[in-house]
């Protein structure tokens, strides 16, 4: 199974019926495809919609119906569209239950860097800083390494998105929970050992005696 599919499926299991959830650009947007059966989640995008869903089938894309990254989306019956002021009022007002964001780095303090790489062209910081600060729960969905280098580090070397500690990190190798004491290894992916996770991580992990196998649904 593709690494990013593993991540998206595992993150989907964290969502609860009735949640208002923001999905970040890229990998996080795919989480909507893997909701468990019978669960209704209200997906929000900061460009101004609640009720987005994946495009039902090829050919139904609409240039005026996109997510925050400009990707085509569908809309469920009863969805709502509004301006950026309303959208960020929801985010900054603490009304989002969960935000799922991509990441460039996460460190031992549970801090996230995900909005820029110094010296590279970026279109802007987007809504990431508001989302990390305003959502009740912050889940980061990212690959564990990039070009063989760890993305989970002792300290972030890239500009921080927020000083707030995220609530959960899901990679293709593991589920890690940042805590007051440090990074707690909660789960490892099927076929992955604890030693492999430790070797791919540039930060100290708290490893319980028994680490569960990651559930990724059907």
- Show which residues are catalytic: 46
Alpha carbon 77 to its chain's center: 25
Q: Please state whether 78 falls in left (phi above 0), alpha (psi between -120 and 50) or beta.
A: left
Integer Cα distance of 102 and 115 in angstroms: 9
- 42 in Cβ contact with 19 (< 8 Å): yes
């Amino acid at each position: 199974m593709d690494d990013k599919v593993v991540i998206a499926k595992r993150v989907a299991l964290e969502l609860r019926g009735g949640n208002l959830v923001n999905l970040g650009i890229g990998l996080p947007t795919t989480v909507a495809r893997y909701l468990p059966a019978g669960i209704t989640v209200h997906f929000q995008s900061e460009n101004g919609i609640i009720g987005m869903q994946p495009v039902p089938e090829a050919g139904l894309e609409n240039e005026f119906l996109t997510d925050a990254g400009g990707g085509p989306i569908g809309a469920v019956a009863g969805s709502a569209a509004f301006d950026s002021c309303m959208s960020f009022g929801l985010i900054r007002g603490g009304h989002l239950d969960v935000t799922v964001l991509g990441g460039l780095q996460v460190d031992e303090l549970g801090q996230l860097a995900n909005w820029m790489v110094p010296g590279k062209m970026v279109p802007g910081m987007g809504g990431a800083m508001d989302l990390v600060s305003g959502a009740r729960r912050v889940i980061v969905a990212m690959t564990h390494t990039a070009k063989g280098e760890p993305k989970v580090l002792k300290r972030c070397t890239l500009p921080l998105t927020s000083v707030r500690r995220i609530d959960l990190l899901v990679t293709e190798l593991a589920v890690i929970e940042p805590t007051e004491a440090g990074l707690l290894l909660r789960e490892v992916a099927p076929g992955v050992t604890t030693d492999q996770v430790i070797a791919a991580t540039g930060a100290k992990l708290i490893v319980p005696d028994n680490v569960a196998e990651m559930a990724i649904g059907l």
